[in-house]
Amino acid sequence: MNVSIHNTLTRRKEALAPETDTFRMYCCGPTVYAAAHIGNFRTFAVQDVLRRALECSGLKVRHVRNITDVDDKTIRESRKLSMSLKDFTKKWEDKFHDDCRKLNMLPPSVEPRATEHIAEQLDMVSKLVENGHAYPSKDGSVYFKISTFPDYGKLAGLDREHMATQSLNSAGEANIADEYERENVSDFALWKGRKPEDGENFWKSPWGEGRPGWHIECSAMSRKYLGDTFDLHGGGIDLCFPHHENEIAQSECSTGKSPYVRFWFHSAHLMVEGQKMSKSLGNLYTLDDLVSKGYTPMQIRYALIAGHYRQQLNFTFKGLDDAKSALEKLAKATAAALEKAGMARDEFDALVSPKNKIEGTVFEPAWAALCDDLNTPRALGEIFGALGKIGGREDIAALASLMYALGIDLPKAEEGQAAADAPAEVAQLAQKRWEAKKSRDFAAADELRKKITELGWSVLDKKDGFDLKKI
């Protein structure tokens, strides 16, 4: 069964099929200037499910996800702390990778950094200047001339007839910003001439010292690792314009190949308790923020994928509580099915892979839902509906592959029950202690254990988690 998605470029649902023997996908990665928040991870979790589903459908997947380690924000924040750009971004890159591991996300096949691909970016900019699609300015910057690309606006659905394509924006200035609003349609920076606020963050170029614009990095790195054209490009809907629109323009004009990408995959925004995420509202939650409130990374992942990727997700604490209950129910039903089939939990864990047959089992409707525009809420509903119909090892193997596709690492049934029985205060302290222990902050872990004991509970460590028991 082929996986289909809504292609932003064509505005219709299409089955995903590779042009070669490997499905090549590129996803815009994090800008490493702070800890990623749950809005970022909603996009990355959805992309992770897509990759896993493609693997379950039998495809070999080459997944490239970049690291943006040079742009306006990374330079500004690193200079505030008087840190080198490399040391500053490495700290946040490591944090991002740690959060991804906790959320059970597969590492990409390749994860290139922008600063390590300056030569490829300069080569692309040079070609655009040579063929008349870009021009240098007096300050050493280079701009893409969008009036030379008639298809500009095709991805975001901009009305070309009424779109003012100009070399200067409405303020009468060249568009040097990395990010800008949809209404600000003007030539954009491919290369930025060195400014005092850049400090020592610059590279040599044919036009003088400077640094790459934000948009060119993805075009250069996707080309290096996937070719002039490839199968799918993913990102949040906020990247559709201008970032992805600009990628198409500069890529197709530099290579002469079209389309740059065949399928475009965009996920919708995330709200928190019905409100837009913002620092001022205090709801710009990171993974650590939610773990400190007593939730596990797997419960957070479940809540992030529980809604359809093309619909705005309202992330709530009730939703997290529901995710906790759902995982406990899944764990209990799986344990019952394994006992009935005479199988151990370790046998089930060994089956969690993309290799098991799902079609022809009681879980085929769930798989069909996942293949139909990655409909995770319907797929989860079908899984729960089929739990009481599990007949034997084939059905159990199919369930294991669906857990792989969704990236769900089921808790042991007894662990789920222990967590369910423990008061919220105890569960929260136990989770904080587990995180402290993993961070090797043993003094904090010991102090938290004492508090748990004082509340009448004991905590027993295991290889991949902990149990709580009433004293």
What pLDDT score was predicted for residue 180? Answer: 47
Q: Indicate the CATH number for domain 4-267.
A: 3.40.50.620
For the chain, the structural domain boundaries read: 4-267, 271-413, 422-460
Looking at residue 23, what is its pLDDT? 98
pLDDT of residue 246: 96
Q: What is the pLDDT of residue 61?
A: 98
Q: What is the pLDDT of residue 412?
A: 76
Q: What is the pLDDT along the chain (471 residues), one digit of tens a residue?
A: 899 999 999 999 999 999 999 999 999 999 999 999 999 999 999 999 999 999 999 999 999 999 999 999 999 999 999 999 999 999 999 999 999 999 999 999 999 999 999 999 999 999 999 999 999 999 999 999 999 999 999 999 987 655 655 554 444 455 666 654 444 467 999 999 999 999 999 999 999 999 999 999 999 999 999 999 999 999 999 999 999 999 999 999 999 999 999 999 999 999 999 999 888 888 899 999 999 888 999 999 999 999 999 999 999 999 999 999 999 999 999 999 999 999 999 999 999 999 999 999 999 999 999 999 999 999 999 999 999 999 989 999 999 999 999 999 998 755 545 555 678 788 888 888 888 887 888 888 888 888 888 888 888 776 557 778 777
- Give the per-residue SS3 of the chain: CCCEEEECCCCEEEECCCCCCCEEEEECCCECCCCCEHHHHHHHHHHHHHHHHHHHCCCCEEEEECEECCCHHHHHHHHHCCCCHHHHHHHHHHHHHHHHHHCCCCCCCECCEHHHHHHHHHHHHHHHHHCCCEEECCCCCEEECHHHCCCCCCCCCCCHHHCCCCCCCCCCCCECCCCCCCCCCCCEEEEEECCHHHCCCCECCCCCCEEECHHHHHHHHHHHHHCCCEEEEEEEHHHHHHHHHHHHHHHHHHHCCCCCEEEEEEECCEEECCEECCCCCCCCCEHHHHHCCCCCHHHHHHHHHCCCCCCCEEECHHHHHHHHHHHHHHHHHHHHHHHHHCCCHHHHHHHCCCCCCCCCCCCHHHHHHHHECCCHHHHHHHHHHHHHHCCCHHHHHHHHHHHHHHCCCCCCHHHHHHHHHCCHHHHHHHHHHHHHHHCCCHHHHHHHHHHHHHCCEEEEEECCEEEEEEC
Q: What is the pLDDT of residue 160?
A: 63
pLDDT of 311 reads 97
Q: Which CATH number fits domain 271-413: 1.10.3470, 3.30.70, 1.10.730, 1.20.144?
A: 1.10.730
For the whole model, what pTM was predicted? 0.86
